[in-house]
Amino acid sequence: MTMLQQIHRGRRHNPPRLMIYGTEGIGKSTTAAAAPKPIFIPTEDGLDQIECASFPLATRLADVDAALRALIQE
């Protein structure tokens, strides 16, 4: 299949995917936790006080990659 044959027409109905960036303590995680069914890929400590679904702490880029791949496959 050529690239031109792969062009999508019409609307896509994919869920939103967000990355929120900022200094610590400004409410990034609290804001994200208010979204419907959020799943966190934490790269630092700080989710202890928030009720949310999250992967284990990602300490390497490979951990983030593995979490994203798991979400894609689900």
Per-residue pLDDT tens digits for 13-65: 887 777 888 898 899 999 999 988 999 999 988 888 899 999 999 999 999 99
Phi then psi for 10, rounded to 5 degrees? Answer: 95, -175
User: Domains in the chain: how many in total?
Assistant: 1
**Domain region containing 65:** 16-73
Does residue 22 lie within any of the structural domains?
Answer: yes
Residue 24 lies in a domain: yes
* Cα angle value 31/34/35 (rounded, 5°): 105
Task: Tell me whether residue 28 is in a domain.
Answer: yes
CA gap 54, 14 in Å, rounded: 21
Domain presence at residue 10: no
What's the pTM value of the predicted model, to 2 decimals?
0.69
pLDDT at position 41: 94
Q: Give me the phi and psi of 45, to 5 degrees please.
A: -70, 155
